[in-house]
Structure 1
Amino acid sequence: MTATVQQRLAAISEPNRFRIVELLKEGPQPVGAIVDALGLGQPQVSRHLRLLAEAGVVEATKRAQQRIYRLHPETMQLISDWVRGFATLWAGRMDRLGSLLDDDRPFEPNP
């Protein structure tokens, strides 16, 4: 699972691809709308979309002459589950910090 998440995060990490994911969060979009929103050329946007599709982040459907892109829900759930695992880790650490701060004993650093 980690390799898959890593590949997908690597695909999303490029700034323009990240912006595409942000746009598609609002719902499916045709390529032309993505081009307009990003202010890039159509070939550049198509390349980014192809890379996102190869990573399994987006999927396309054809409607007449248009390609409509949307986020791949299973991929986004996989990434969300992976990130949620860190939330559990940090919640435990914050609880321990809270206990330490609530402790009335004076702080003594470890030698």
Structure 2
Amino acid sequence: MARSPANQPALGDHHHPIPTTPDTVPAGCWWFTDPDGALCLLPGCMARSQDPEADCTCDTLGARLERAERKLRDERAERQYAEGWYQALHAALDAHPAGPDIRADARARRAATQTRP
């Protein structure tokens, strides 16, 4: 019985493999334990067939969610890094004797290059 991604059960991962029967085999990559208790990966994509620890590229809902969450984490980390730099530069300007002049010059330069929607 073929399963579509819409009715696919939650996929197991390396640390939490799912028990399976012939009727519950999910589409895409999945980890399972064989009857002897060995942990096995059934790759559903080329990335995992070459490296079991690689990110799954199967176009399943779970894989798409995982990629979106990873992208969100990366973007949040980048924003936090940029915010740290902004705060440090702001503090440096506040401490600098010419800080107000530098800030006014920066605002003027930004206004000259900024395009409004």
Query: Could you state the TM-score of these two structures normalised by the residue count of structure 2?
Result: 0.28
1 or 2, which has the higher strand percentage? 1
1 or 2, which has the higher helix percentage? 1
Larger radius of gyration: 2
